C-alpha cells in the first residue's frame, strides 16, 4: 500500500514538473505533508542533501524520501516513478519529432528556439554565479572564489580541461580553502 | 560494447558529476555526448534541452532519454535514464542510512562550495559554446538577450518563453525567408 502511494505521489510529481527541479521541490513537500511521511524539518534536510550530492535534485529527493518511508524498495519505487513521466513524454515527442524533423516548419521552429536556450542557460549561469559568489565572498574566501572561478574558466576555455576532473579538483580545493 | 552499455556508462558518469539543476549537466553533455561520443551536434543538444525544458519531467532525465532514444530506441532511452539515476540511488542510499544529522556532513558543504564555484565557471563557458552554435544572426542575438532579461530580471517561466519562441520564431523566420527569395 505504501509502495503504491509512493508510486502515485512521485509519478504525479514527475508528470507535473515542467522546468527546473526547484519547482518540483514545492510539489514534493506538498505530497510528503499530505501523506505524513516526514516532518517539515526533515524535508529541509532532504533538500540540503539532494543539493550537495551528485545527480538531479529531484531524483535525489525521490530516492531519499522513498528510502526513509519504505526502505530500499521504497527508494527504487519512488525513483522509478519520478522518471517514468519523462520516459513516456520523450517517447511520444521523439516519434513525432523523428517524422517531421526535416520539414521546413520544424526546422524553422528549432532555429528559432536555439537562441532561447542560449538565453536560458546564460541567465542560469549569471544567477547561480552571483549567488555563489555572494555566499562565498566574505574576507579571504572572496579571493579564493575569484581565483578558483577564474582558473576553472581559463582551464576549460583555453586548456580544454575535462569538466569531470575540474569538478573533482574543485571539491578537493573547496575542502581546504572553505574550511 | 553494445550501444546500450555505452549509453548506460556514459550517463552514469554524468549522473555522478552533475551538481545542481539541468544547466549543470550541460558542460558534461558537451564534452561526453557532443565531443567524445558524437551522439549529437551542439545544435541538436540545444534542441533536446529546449524540448526537455517544455515537456513533462525532469530536464536532465528528459535530455538523457532523448539522446538515448535517438541512439538506441526505447531500450536506449531506458539505458541512458538508468545510467543517469543509478549514482543518485547508490549515493543517497548510503547517505540516508548513515546520516542522522545534517551537521555530520559539514565537510561536504566545504567541498560543495568549491564545486559550486567550478560549476558556475563551467556553465559560463558552456553558454559561450552554445552561443557560437546557436546564434546565427542579429535576430538570434536579440532573441537570446530578450530571453536572458525575461528570466533574470522578470523571472518569467522558461516554458512560456520556449512555447512563444517556437511559434514566433517560425513566423518571423518565414517572413524573412520570403523576403530573401
Q: Using pLDDT thresholds of 50, 70 and 90, give the confidence band for residue B41.
A: very high
Residue pLDDT, tens place only, A1-11 = 899 999 999 99
Looking at residue B73, its pLDDT comes to 92
Looking at residue B180, its pLDDT comes to 46
Does residue B61 belong to the interface with chain A, where contact is any CB pair within 8 Å?
yes
Asked whether residue B153 carries a pLDDT value surpassing 60, the answer given is yes
- CB contact (8 A) between residue B120 and residue A127: no
Looking at residue A1, its pLDDT comes to 83
Are A178 and A136 spatial neighbours (Cβ–Cβ below 8 Å)? Answer: yes
Buried b (16+ CB within 10 A) or exposed e, B57-80: bbbbbbbbbbbbbbbbeeebbbbb
Q: What distance in Å separates the CA atoms of residue B165 and residue B127, rounded to the nearest whole number?
A: 19
CA distances from B96 to A61, A175, B12, B110 (A): 11, 22, 20, 19
* Pick from B56-65, B91-100, B138-147: least confident: B91-100
Q: What is the ipTM of this complex?
A: 0.84
B contact residues 117-176, partner A, Cβ 8 Å cutoff: 117-128, 130-131, 133-136, 140-141, 143-148, 150-152, 157-159, 161-162, 165-166, 168-170, 172-174
Among partner residues B21, B26, B31, which is closest to A162 by beta-carbon distance?
A: B31
Looking at residue B77, its pLDDT comes to 95
Chain B residues whose CB is inside 8 A of the A112 CB are 143, 165-166, 168-170, 172-173
In this predicted model, which residue has the larger pLDDT, B20 or B26?
B26
Residue pLDDT, tens place only, A43-85 = 877 887 887 788 888 899 899 999 989 999 999 999 999 999 9
Look at the block and give the residue holding cell 519512488.
A78
Looking at residue B172, its pLDDT comes to 67
Residue pLDDT, tens place only, A104-142 = 777 777 777 888 888 888 888 888 888 888 888 888 888
Looking at residue B181, its pLDDT comes to 42
Does residue A173 belong to the interface with chain B, where contact is any CB pair within 8 Å?
yes
Asked whether residue B3 carries a pLDDT value surpassing 80, the answer given is yes
The interaxial angle of helices A104-135 and B138-152, nearest 10 deg, is 50
Average pLDDT, integer, range B33-37 = 93
Alpha-carbon gap: A158 to the closest alpha carbon of chain B (Å):
10
Asked whether residue B11 carries a pLDDT value surpassing 90, the answer given is yes
Q: Using pLDDT thresholds of 50, 70 and 90, give the confidence band for residue B126.
A: confident
Cell readout for B61 is 532525465
Across all residues in chain B, what is the average pLDDT? 85
Asked whether residue A21 carries a pLDDT value surpassing 90, the answer given is no
Asked whether residue B8 carries a pLDDT value surpassing 70, the answer given is yes
Chain A residues whose CB is inside 8 A of the B88 CB are 53-56, 59-60, 63, 79
Looking at residue A106, its pLDDT comes to 78
Looking at residue B81, its pLDDT comes to 96
Average pLDDT, integer, range B107-122 = 86
Asked whether residue B59 carries a pLDDT value surpassing 70, the answer given is yes
Looking at residue B123, its pLDDT comes to 87
Nearest CA in chain B to A127: B152
Q: What distance in Å separates the CA atoms of residue A97 and residue B54, rounded to the nearest whole number?
A: 14
Residue pLDDT, tens place only, B61-90 = 999 999 999 999 999 999 999 999 999 999
Give which of A41, A38, A34 is closest to A13, Cα–Cα. A34
Amino acid at each position: 500500500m505504501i509502495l503504491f502511494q509512493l508510486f502515485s505521489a512521485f509519478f504525479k510529481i514527475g508528470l507535473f514538473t515542467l522546468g527546473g527541479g526547484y519547482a518540483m521541490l514545492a510539489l514534493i513537500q506538498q505530497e510528503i505533508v499530505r501523506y505524513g511521511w516526514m516532518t517539515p524539518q526533515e524535508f529541509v534536510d532532504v533538500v540540503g542533501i539532494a543539493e550537495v550530492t551528485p545527480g538531479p535534485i529531484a531524483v535525489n529527493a525521490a530516492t531519499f524520501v522513498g528510502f526513509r518511508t519504505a526502505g530500499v524498495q521504497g527508494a527504487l519505487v519512488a525513483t522509478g516513478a519520478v522518471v517514468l513521466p519523462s520516459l513516456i513524454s520523450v517517447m511520444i515527442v521523439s516519434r513525432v519529432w523523428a517524422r517531421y524533423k526535416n520539414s521546413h516548419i520544424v526546422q524553422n521552429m528549432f532555429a528559432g528556439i536555439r537562441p532561447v536556450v542560449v538565453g536560458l542557460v546564460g541567465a542560469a549561469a549569471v544567477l547561480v554565479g552571483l549567488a555563489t559568489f555572494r555566499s562565498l565572498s566574505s574576507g579571504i574566501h572572496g579571493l579564493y572564489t575569484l581565483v578558483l572561478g577564474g582558473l576553472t574558466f581559463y582551464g576549460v576555455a583555453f586548456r580544454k580541461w575535462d569538466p569531470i576532473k575540474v569538478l573533482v579538483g574543485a571539491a578537493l580545493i573547496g575542502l581546504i580553502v572553505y574550511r | 560494447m553494445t550501444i546500450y552499455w555505452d549509453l548506460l556508462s556514459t550517463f552514469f558518469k554524468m549522473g555522478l558529476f552533475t551538481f545542481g539543476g539541468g544547466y549543470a549537466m550541460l558542460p558534461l553533455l558537451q564534452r561526453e555526448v557532443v565531443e567524445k561520443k558524437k551522439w549529437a551536434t551542439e545544435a541538436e543538444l540545444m534542441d533536446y534541452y529546449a524540448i526537455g525544458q517544455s515537456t513533462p519531467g525532469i530536464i536532465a532525465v528528459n535530455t538523457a532519454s532523448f539522446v538515448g532514444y535517438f541512439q538506441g530506441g526505447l531500450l536506449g532511452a531506458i539505458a541512458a535514464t538508468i545510467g543517469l539515476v543509478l549514482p543518485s540511488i547508490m549515493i543517497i542510499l548510503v547517505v540516508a542510512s548513515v546520516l542522522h544529522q545534517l551537521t555530520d556532513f559539514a565537510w561536504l558543504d566545504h567541498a560543495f562550495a568549491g564545486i559550486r564555484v567550478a560549476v558556475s565557471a563551467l556553465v559560463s563557458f558552456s553558454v559561450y559554446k552554445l552561443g557560437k552554435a546557436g546564434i546565427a544572426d542579429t535576430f538570434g542575438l536579440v532573441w537570446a538577450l530578450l530571453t536572458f532579461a525575461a528570466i533574470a530580471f522578470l523571472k518569467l517561466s522558461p516554458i512560456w518563453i520556449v512555447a512563444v519562441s517556437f511559434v514566433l520564431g517560425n513566423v518571423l523566420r518565414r517572413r524573412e525567408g520570403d523576403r530573401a527569395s
